[in-house]
Amino acid sequence: MQGIDVSENNGLVDFGAVRNWGYDFAIIRLGYGNDHLDSCFYDNVNAALGAGLKIGIYYYSYALDEDMARKEADFVLDILEGCGLTTDKLEMGIWFDMEDADGYKAARMSFTPQLITNMCSIFVNAMWRAGYSRAGVYANLDWFTNYIYTDQLSCPKWCAQYANACDFDDAFMWQFTDSADIGGKQFDANKLLGEW
């Protein structure tokens, strides 16, 4: 099963075309950082479901400590509860995007793998306690290898590695390209490797 992940950065998405190109699901960014809702979140959720795609959500973390990770989890849960996205509607799960793509964390903290791992655990456990049994962590191969103690996380892992194969043995889902062309627009494409 293959799908795409989307955010406001993708602009207006034709999810009917996504479905027609053979994709089965969409992982939709709910938001990022300190209470920032993705401006296309609700539109993307409704359009993807309307096109018959399975959905999940992800949240890009800007947490610098454990308390900030808790606040991000609380924000996600507030939004999900407010719009009625129950666990049965999120067949592709809830994902905590723990990377530092823009250097924000590196410029503001001396992070250690244990701190990063603890923040991931706090977020995932908050989802589990709220009844969202399908929750995991997203990161690229470098972060899973060097910045996260994956053996301390019993949740699914979604690994980004743009290659012909995924080198992370514990990957539940694999983001294998950032250049999937759907109707002239580029998307990150993902392959489900495990089963919930």
- Widest CA span of the chain, in angstroms? 45
The first and second tokens of residue 130, run together, are 């709220």
pLDDT at 74: 98
The confidence score (pLDDT) of residue 39 equals: 98
What per-residue confidence (pLDDT) applies to 100? 87
Direct distance between the N- and C-terminal alpha carbons of the chain, in angstroms, rounded to an integer: 13
0.75 cut: is pTM over it? yes
Structure tokens at 47: 């359009």
* Rounded Cα distance, 4 and 29, in Å: 11
Per-residue pLDDT of the chain (196 residues; tens, 9 = 90+): 999 999 999 999 999 999 999 999 999 999 999 899 999 999 999 999 999 999 999 999 999 999 999 999 999 999 999 999 999 999 999 999 999 888 898 899 888 999 999 999 999 999 999 999 999 999 999 999 999 999 999 999 999 999 999 999 999 999 999 999 998 999 999 999 998 8
Count Cβ atoms below 10 Å from residue 105 Cβ, excluding itself.
20
Residue pair 96/118 in contact (Cβ under 8 Å)? The answer is: no
Q: How buried is 121 (Cβ within 10 angstroms: 0-12 exposed, 13-18 middle, 19+ buried)?
A: buried
How far, in Å, CA of 7 to CA of 29, rounded? 5
Measured CA to CA, the distance from residue 188 to residue 162 in angstroms comes to 10
Query: Which class for 101: exposed (0-12), middle (13-18), buried (19 or more C-beta within 10 A)?
Result: exposed
